[in-house]
Amino acid sequence: MAGFALVGAITPGPVNVLALRHGSQGPGYQALMYVLGASLSYVVVVACMGFGSTRMLGQHPGMAHSAQWLCAAYLLWLAWQLARAPALQPLAVQPSHHPSPWQAFNQGVAVQILNPKAWLFALSAVGLYALPQSHLPHANLGWLCAISLLACLIGVGCWAALGRMLIRWLHTPRRQRALNLALALLLVVSVVTVLA
């Protein structure tokens, strides 16, 4: 169960692409808040899947299909915003005023909740590990939520840490724009592969 959760959390996807950006272009506490928001909201996704969303989506397959396309549209809009994002001054010379860490937290929550990869992975995890393994599926779901939280903190946190390591390389506007374009492209590819 832990390996499955970690693989899902650390593989490239929309949440991790934006974690890399937060790590590379903002103060450390903002990246941490983004990681925390994404991780906590993934636990909510797993819990929703475990507490009945699977049954509801099974009864209304059109709703699942529509939700997937709506989420994909939002993530593609984020990719567009990322591709158009202006280069920032190097962190060492940025003014001391930064956007609220709660904005980063809220973005982590929103991106994870609207991430088709998260919902599909959570459905798989619940189906494999929570429901069939015991006569106490809610206890298994609790363990799955706890393990998913830890895996997400590690997986998304690794991407944010990688972003922090890239700060020195990103000291020119040209490199920042190149990274933003590469991340936007990676975000588009991750959305397309989930939809395929």
Which pLDDT band holds residue 119 (cuts at 50, 70, 90)?
confident
Q: Give 38 or 184, the one with higher predicted confidence.
A: 38
Query: Quick check: pTM over 0.95?
Result: no
Distance of CA 21 to the CA centre of its chain: 12
Domain residue extents for the chain? 2-90+100-195
pLDDT at 105 over 90: yes
Find the mean pLDDT for residues 19-33: 87
Find the mean pLDDT for residues 9-35: 85
- Environment class of 181 (CB within 10 Å of its CB; exposed 0-12, middle 13-18, buried 19+): middle
Instruction: Using a pLDDT cut of 90, give the percent of the chain over it.
Output: 22
Among candidate residues 191, 52, 188, the one with its CA nearest the CA of residue 116? 191
- What's the token pair of residue 122? 């959570």
Instruction: Using a pLDDT cut of 70, give the percent of the chain over it.
Output: 73
Helix ranges (H only) for 26-172 are 28-48, 54-59, 61-84, 101-113, 116-125, 137-165
Over residues 56-97, the pLDDT tens digits come to 655 666 665 666 676 677 767 877 877 887 766 554 444 444
Q: What is the pLDDT of residue 109?
A: 94
Over residues 128-175, the pLDDT tens digits come to 677 655 555 577 888 889 999 999 999 999 999 998 888 778 778 888
Q: How many other C-beta atoms can be found within 10 angstroms of the C-beta atom of residue 106? A: 15
